[in-house]
Amino acid sequence: MNDKYETMDLDAKIYVAGHQGMVGSAILRKLKKAGYYNFVLRTSVELDLREQDAVQRFFEIEEPEYIFLAAARVGGIHANNTYRAEFIYDNLAIQNNVIHQSFKSGVRKLLFLGSSCIYPKYAQQPMKEEALLTGSLEPTNEPYAIAKIAGIKLCQAYHAQYGSNFISLMPTNLYGPNDNYDLENAHVLPALIRKIHEAKTKDERDVEIWGTGTVRREFLHVDDLADACLFLMNNYSKPGIINVGTGKDLSIYELALLLKSVIGYKGRLRFNPAKPDGTPRKLLDTTRINHMGWYPKIELWEGIQKVYAEYEKRHLQTH
Asked whether residue 314 is marked as a ligand-binding residue, the answer is no
Note if the pTM is more than 0.85. Answer: yes
Residues 142, 84 share a domain: yes
Res. 313 pLDDT band, cuts 50 70 90: confident
pLDDT band at 1 (very low <50, low <70, confident <90, very high): very low
- Considering the domain architecture, whether residues 36 and 49 belong to the same structural domain is answered as yes
Residue 290 lies in a domain: yes
CATH of the domain at 258: 3.90.25.10
Give the CATH number, domain containing residue 105: 3.40.50.720
Residue 139 sits in the same domain as residue 202: no
What pLDDT is recorded for position 4?
55
Residue 3 domain flag: no
145 shares a domain with 98: yes
Instruction: Consult the annotation and say whether 297 binds a ligand.
Output: no
- Does residue 109 fall inside a structural domain? yes
Same domain, 21 and 66: yes
Q: Which residues form the catalytic set?
A: 144
> Is 123 a member of any domain?
yes
Over pLDDT 70: what percentage of the chain? 97
> Quick check: is 4 in a domain?
no
305 is in an annotated binding site: no
In a domain, 85, yes or no: yes
204, 166: one domain: no
Answer yes or no: is pLDDT of 319 > 70: no
Q: Is 2 annotated as a binding residue?
A: no
Same domain flag for 124 and 193:
no
Indicate if 139 and 208 belong to the same structural domain. no
Q: Are residues 228 and 192 in the same domain?
A: no
* Mean pLDDT along residues 38-42: 97
Is 174 annotated among the ligand-binding residues? yes
> Is the pLDDT at 98 greater than 70, yes or no?
yes
Using pLDDT thresholds of 50, 70 and 90, give the confidence band for residue 169: very high
Proportion of the chain above pLDDT 90, given as a percent: 84
9 in a domain, yes or no? no
Model confidence at 2, pLDDT cuts 50, 70, 90, reads: very low
239-257 confidence digits (pLDDT tens): 999 999 999 999 999 999 9
How does the average pLDDT of the chain come out, rounded?
A: 93
pLDDT over 90 at 82, yes or no? no
Same domain, 128 and 261: no
Give the mean model confidence (pLDDT) for residues 290-297: 98
Same domain assignment for residues 173 and 257: no
Rounded CA gap, 92 and 72, in Å?
9
pLDDT digits (tens, 9 = 90+) for 118-137: 999 999 999 999 999 999 99
Model confidence over 185-205: pLDDT tens digits?
778 899 999 999 999 999 999
The domain of 197 spans 188-214+250-281+308-318
What is the number of domains present in the chain?
A: 2
For the cut 90, the answer to whether the pLDDT of residue 262 exceeds it is yes
Structure confidence at residue 140 (pLDDT): 86
- The yes-or-no verdict on residue 77 having pLDDT over 90 is no
Say what the pLDDT of residue 80 is. Answer: 75
Based on the domain organization, do 70 and 162 belong to the same domain? yes
139 known ligand binder: no
pLDDT average, residue stretch 153-181? 96
7 belongs to a structural domain: no
